[in-house]
A = this chain, B = another copy of it.
Amino acid sequence: MDIREIAKRARVSTATVSRVVNRVPTVNPQMAKRVWNVIEELGYYPNTQARALVSGRSRIFGLIISDITNPFFPEIVQVFEAIAVQHRYEILLSSTSHDPKRMESSVRRMLERRVEGVAVLTFGMEEPLLEHLHVREVPIVFVDVGPQRPWVSNIRIDYLHGIRQAVQHLAALRHERIAFISGPLKLKSALARQQAFVRSMREIGMECDSALMVEGDHTMEGGMAACAKLLSLSHRPTAMMCSNDMTAIGVMRKSHETHIAIPHNLSVVGFDDIRLAQFMIPPLTTIQMSQAELARIAFDALMADVERETPAPNGTEYVLKTNLVLRQSTGMNSNATKRAK
């Protein structure tokens, strides 16, 4: 059942049917009604591929993330999809697990389906593979790591804003030995978080003991290992800041195993504010980087580029703020309290 069938039954031409379906205002309302009736009756849906072929617009965006089973991403996917549907777009999802092979095949799939734009929310370092997209002038939006070029937008995360709040919060609670468990430092986003931490500490004249800076891998297991390492120190930290929530969850778990009470004996701060954070025991104090907002900014960036006819020469920059969310995994440094007595 195609547009011709509808045209025949409504005794109009296919052009008119097309105009009715696309709500072109010049068509006579009576005739439109007649056409709509036939469409309803037969349950006709226009064929998107034919439409895309002739219009040159697929109405598909690509969404590349690193791993859907990482609790950080599902909400992004959900919000991105919801907004896309509102704008009558479809999304092509791809988890790459930071694997260059899969990354390449994703890009290829997206090119074959003629996506109109790609959001790369991997926090990674895979830009080289995106060359193919770039030569075809497909709009791209990156987080943190994109180059400055036409058709490339960037969402810069203001890590410092939230991390500074967290550091000052811990300082206010009389913590003097604050550890930082980073992510894999080859990831720019992980490096940026660490640097924001160091800077926040220096700002208020606190030292960053290098023994208290350990590299994790953004997994719970990595968090447990890092926590164990820090607890084995003769001069233990009283607070640990983590580069993401999964790491913090690992820290909480290891602490529990070692009978260290949070927040009484150890304060923990996470980063991301994944939904799980509020469900921990105790609920995790963390720095929020709104996944919903990130998804929305990414979508809007692509939409803006699609509607632009000439690109901004250096792409566009967007900023996402981060903010501390106080819950119950941080508390007064108990040693300091004693001394104060």
Contacts of A256 in B (CB 8 A): 281
Mark out the residues of chain A between 262 and 293 whose CB falls within 8 Å of any chain B CB in the assembled complex.
Answer: 275-276, 279, 281
Contacts of A108 in B (CB 8 A): 45
Is the CB of A47 closer than 8 A to any CB of chain B? Answer: yes
Is the CB of A170 closer than 8 A to any CB of chain B? Answer: no
| Pick from B53, B67, B105, B275: contact of A69, CB under 8 Å | B275
Contacts of A43 in B (CB 8 A): 132, 135
Is the CB of A52 closer than 8 A to any CB of chain B? Answer: yes
A95 near B81: Cβ-Cβ < 8 Å: yes
- Find the B residue at minimum CB distance from A283: B253
B58 near A69: Cβ-Cβ < 8 Å: no
A112 near B48: Cβ-Cβ < 8 Å: yes
Q: Digitize A234-257: 1 where CB-to-B-CB distance is under 8 Å, 0 elsewhere.
A: 000000000000000100010011
CB contact under 8 A between A71 and B71, given known A93-B93, A95-B78, A220-B279:
yes
- Find the B residue at minimum CB distance from A250: B279
Q: How far is the CA of A222 from the CA of B198 in the complex (A)?
A: 42
Is the CB of A49 closer than 8 A to any CB of chain B? Answer: yes
A109 near B81: Cβ-Cβ < 8 Å: no
CB contact under 8 A between A112 and B279, given known A78-B69, A91-B93, A92-B90:
no
Is the CB of A3 closer than 8 A to any CB of chain B? Answer: no
Distance in Å: Cβ of A325 to nearest Cβ of chain B: 18
Distance in Å: Cβ of A49 to nearest Cβ of chain B: 4
A253 near B279: Cβ-Cβ < 8 Å: yes
Is the CB of A147 closer than 8 A to any CB of chain B? Answer: no
CB contact under 8 A between A74 and B78, given known A49-B114, A90-B109, A93-B91:
no
A47 near B85: Cβ-Cβ < 8 Å: no
Contacts of A220 in B (CB 8 A): 279
Contacts of A90 in B (CB 8 A): 92, 109, 113
Distance in Å: Cβ of A220 to nearest Cβ of chain B: 6
Q: How far is the CA of A113 from the CA of B50 in the complex (A)?
A: 10
B105 near A85: Cβ-Cβ < 8 Å: yes
Is the CB of A176 closer than 8 A to any CB of chain B? Answer: no
Q: Digitize A71-104: 1 where CB-to-B-CB distance is under 8 Å, 0 elsewhere.
A: 1011101100100010000111111000000000
Is the CB of A320 closer than 8 A to any CB of chain B? Answer: no
Q: List 19 A-B contacts (CB under 8 A).
A: A46-B112, A47-B112, A48-B49, A48-B113, A50-B53, A53-B53, A67-B78, A68-B78, A69-B75, A69-B275, A71-B71, A81-B94, A85-B109, A90-B109, A91-B93, A220-B279, A249-B279, A256-B281, A281-B281
Q: 6 shortest A-B CB distances, which residue pairs?
A: A49-B49, A49-B52, A69-B74, A68-B74, A48-B112, A49-B53
Q: A50-B53, A69-B275, A78-B95 are in contact. List 8 more A-B contacts (CB 8 A).
A: A47-B112, A47-B114, A69-B78, A85-B105, A90-B109, A220-B279, A276-B276, A281-B281
